[in-house]
Each structure stands twice: as structure tokens, then as C-alpha cells.
Amino acid sequence: MNRRIKNGAICIFRESLGGSRNGKIVLVENYGKNDEEYNSSFTVKTYASEKRATEDGEWEHSVILLRPNSTDPNFKDIVLHEDDCENMRIVGEFVAVLDE
């Protein structure tokens, strides 16, 4: 995210209240991944989703993309399908970087 948020920056996030998150920077928690001490891990990415209509006329996500906004080419999109989201939650939406 170093194009918008410098490494080591202190940021403010607000609770996600739902609605469209497309194009917003979000803080995502993934339970049970990576950090054995806390049994969770976090990532900050730009949110994008594609939706499709269900048989009963409702909308559902066909895919959610968590995209890095970084100059580092080692960071790749995280592609999520419904089954992948079971242990994930949007913790908050990016508001601002605090001045150092």
C-alpha cells in the first residue's frame, strides 16, 4: 500500500458499516492464518468485488479481490471466493494517515 500509506505509518480506520466497499482501502483480518501467537493475520488492501444475481433475484459476490496498492511487484492480488471468506472479516475502512 506504499503508494497511499508509507511503510510503518500510523493509520486511522473506521468501523465498516456495510454498503459498497469497491475502491476503498480496507483492513482485513484472516483468522487462523500466519500468526501462530495470535491465531490471526491482518492485511491492508484496496477492495474490489464482482457480483452476480442469484436464482431468487438477490445479489451475491462471485469474487472478491483484495488488491495491493504498492510499488513492490512481489505483492499480488488476493482472490477470494465464497468458501475463502469463511475465516475473514473486514475490520475497518481507511480514513487517514496520522502525521509523524
Encode pLDDT of 59-86 as tens digits: 777 889 999 999 999 888 988 887 777 8
* C-alpha distances in Å from residue 36, one per residue of 31, 32, 59: 10, 8, 36
Mean pLDDT of the chain: 85
> Who's near 93: CB < 8 A, 6+ residues apart?
13, 14, 15, 16, 21, 24, 25, 26, 27
Encode pLDDT of 37-63 as tens digits: 555 688 899 999 888 788 888 877 788
